[in-house]
Amino acid sequence: MIKTELLKQKILELGKVVGNDTVRVDMFLNHRIDADLVTKLGGEFYRIFSSSPINKIVTVEASGVAVAFAAAQRFSVPVVFAKKGLNKNVGDDVYKARVYSFTKQSEVIIGVAKDYLDENDRVLIIDDFLASGSAAKGLIDIINQAGARLEGVGVVIEKAFQSGGDELRALGYRVESLAVIKSIDGGKIVFG
């Protein structure tokens, strides 16, 4: 796919390798958002998942929001983003899950208000990264609590040298990644 080639090119050009397991894509995805590119990525998720009866997109704040929104525009469905840490305005009526943040190296609680997810929802999870799969598993836990059905998981960048993607596929979920990083060795990114 041309769009995923464009994504890989951006990762190679602008990604910053840190150690042997981290690629920072703050330049176009995570902090500074390339609106044109992310719009295209949203379209790519639509192409991949458009045959599924998706009526809601779910992600986690904050770095997943833009790409999830770009996909939601194409599906014409709402996005619900799980919040990290609950504030007084969300209320107590919240589905919660524990998630280990790879970047922050600590556990956080994510939550979705019960009003915004229910048994009628056919959900596509969209996120920027899939590594250990902790965020995706937390979202799946929340989707299950709501009685909703998960139609698939779409991620921009999968780190295939971590086990999250394999574990989710082994559980029977459809996981589609726009770019798969097989390894980061000596500062060099190898795509799968």
Binding site for its own copies (CB under 8 A): 18, 22, 24, 26-28, 31-36, 38-39, 61-62, 65-66, 69-70, 72-73, 75-81, 83, 87-90, 101, 103-105, 112-113, 115-116
**What gap in Å lies between CA 64 and CA 82, rounded to an integer?**
10
Q: Smallest distance, Å, CB 53 to its own copies?
A: 17
DSSP conformational letter for 43: H
Nearer to its own copies, 100 or 116 (CB): 116
Task: Answer yes or no: are the C-beta atoms of 148 and 123 closer than 8 Å.
Answer: yes
Nearer to its own copies, 107 or 166 (CB): 107
Q: Smallest distance, Å, CB 119 to its own copies?
A: 16
Q: Smallest distance, Å, CB 117 to its own copies?
A: 9
Nearer to its own copies, 34 or 167 (CB): 34
For residue 62, give both structure tokens.
């904050």
For residue 20, give both structure tokens.
């042997």
Packed helices 35-49 and 65-75: angle between N→C axes, nearest 10 degrees: 50
Q: Smallest distance, Å, CB 177 to its own copies?
A: 20
Nearer to its own copies, 51 or 76 (CB): 76
For residue 135, give the H/E element and its range: helix 134-146
Nearer to its own copies, 70 or 180 (CB): 70
Could you tell me if residue 13 is left (phi over 0), alpha (psi between -120 and 50 degrees) or otherwise beta? alpha
Residue-wise burial string across 5-29, b where 16 or more C-beta atoms lie within 10 A, e elsewhere: ebbbebbeebbebeeeeebebebbb
Q: Smallest distance, Å, CB 36 to its own copies?
A: 6
